[in-house]
Amino acid sequence: MTKLFEPTQVGDIAVKNRIVMAPLTRNRSPGAVPNDLNVEYYRQRATAGLIITEATPITHQGQGYADVPGLYTKEALDGWKRVTDAVHAGGGKIVVQMWHVGRISHTTLQPNGGKPVSSTNRAAKGKTYLVNPDGTGTFAETSEPRALETAEIPGIIEDYRKAARAAIDAGFDGVEIHGANGYLLDQFMRDGINDRTDQYGGSIENRTRLTFEVVEAVTKEIGAGRTAIRLSPVTPSNDSYDSNPQAVFTHVVEGLAKYDLAYIHIVEGQTGGERDYKGGTNPSFDYAALRAAYEKAGGKASWMVNNGYDRDMAIAAAETGRADLVAFGKPFIANPDLVERLQKNLPLNAGDQATFYGGGAKGYTDYPLIDKVA
């Protein structure tokens, strides 16, 4: 037994091991409503210490990809209640990743075909996932956004607050605020995207203001011990860039230290890619220094790491105390019993990448479990 497989406390959430199922967009919720297939998918993975759901938009405006579930209709929340009930019946814990995609969207996904909103009116050099009339999926260029008016921003913060309350009412054990991967909050934080001249643009303090205002609203609504945040300091995902990510994210974690959050989720390197991706003008990003700055500022949240971890890396991270929690993404797609496989050092199923996005049960709920007799 190593620390990786031991129980721990994550804010107000008691978990049975330190293995986390990372958020994974799968595009299998038509109408933005979780369905029977989604219930089974999450139920199968309830042996994880903690499940973080696929990114889930807080409003229709926050939608950026076809067939992802939402947090803003009664039907969606009823669907999520079935998911949370199933995970809890399996002995698991589950938090929802609250999402506003900002400019990473398409007019066909927006209310009344409007423009997506962002910190800027410049389009991202990125793609989103759409569903064709015949049911097939396709990747399309994102649409040109419009910059949010300063007067609109309190409404965005209120949307996060309402979504957090709805999530808890739907049975989630907590929420993870998506502040990573070039989505709305990241679009405000990064100087390669944010070109505003109001109090939400310019200095690091201004660019990070919205993130702190969202954290403040959510923690006041549901409690800091059920609130977490995801950050990706150097990832270039969705055309994101900052000239000095070490300074930006040091400021962010120092500010987060005043909240007794459940955890801080750090994507190391390029999301889903190179772990040693540099980014910015710095020769490298110092993740140890980031955590040290957080703890020096008084932060006590669990520290979650993510991106390309295998069994040995995860065990080492937990044993040395470099991380409190380790998130696995693609391995959980193909291995619903990943915890058992890691614990017993058993081989992993390979994922079928052709079925990652969209479709039905194939490549979603049909991956084989380890033969219990063997």
129, 183, 364, 367: the active-site residue: 183
Cβ neighbours, 10 Å, residue 108: 12
Is residue 183 flagged as an active site residue? yes
Paired tokens of 131: 């569903």
Q: Are strands 8-10 and 13-15 parallel, antiparallel or unpaired?
A: antiparallel
Contacts 24+ apart (CB under 8 A), 124-132: 124/182, 124/193, 124/238, 124/239, 125/239, 126/182, 126/238, 126/239, 128/64, 128/65, 128/104, 129/25, 129/27, 129/65, 129/66, 129/357, 129/358, 130/66, 130/106, 131/27, 131/66, 131/67, 131/358
Distance in angstroms (rounded) separating the CA atoms of residues 168 and 174: 7
Name residue, tokens 């990448």: 353
Distance CA 177, CA 340 (A): 29
To 5 degrees, how large is the angle CA 50–CA 130–CA 168? 30
User: Angle 364-333-33 (CA atoms, 0-180°, nearest 5)?
Assistant: 50
Q: Which of 231, 207, 228 is nearest to 218 (CA)?
A: 228
**CA distance linking residue 198 with residue 356, whole number of Å:** 40
Dihedrals phi, psi of 56, to nearest 5 degrees = -130, 110
Q: Are 120 and 195 in contact (CB under 8 A)?
A: yes
The size of the chain, in residues, is 374
> Which residues are tagged catalytic?
183
